[in-house]
Amino acid sequence: MLSADVQAYTGRHDWLVFAYFDAYSESAVNMFALTSTWVTVVMAVCRYIVVCRPLHARAYISLRRTRLALVVAFFLSTLVIKIMHVADIVESLQQRGVSSRWDRAGVDGDRHHKTTALVNC
């Protein structure tokens, strides 16, 4: 169901932008919050190495490794949030009575089998 803001723009093409915003805004906020947490962890680890291992810090820390750690943190955060977003969509569909792919495939039971069935579809 679209929000009232989207319904106010039904006569214009702007409603499509609001529809995407409604669908992905929560996930985007969560992704950036999770990314900022992991960026803080990367900074803390770098500072720990500099303080506790000052003679070896140059060997462990470089601009390239720091950039790589930040990119990995961003992509892992994106992946985690995407998985959570898909799980929320599946749960929402189940609450509406729409059967999921694993229900049609006859998969029941624990969460591991359901997640595996979702990923393999």
Q: Could you tell me how far CA 60 lies from the centroid of its own chain?
A: 29
DSSP 21: H
Residue that wins the pLDDT comparison between 93 and 39: 39
Q: What percent of the chain has pLDDT over 70?
A: 66
What is the distance between the alpha carbons of residues 2 and 5, in angstroms, rounded to a whole number?
A: 8
Mean pLDDT, rounded, for 83-90: 80
Contact 50, 38 (CB under 8 A): no
Q: Which domain holds residue 85?
A: 4-120
Structural domain count of the chain:
1
Query: Does pTM surpass 0.75?
Result: no
Do 53 and 60 meet the contact criterion of CB atoms below 8 Å apart? yes
What pLDDT does residue 80 have? Answer: 86
Under 8 Å between Cβ of 86 and 118:
yes
**Does residue 71 carry a pLDDT above 60?**
yes
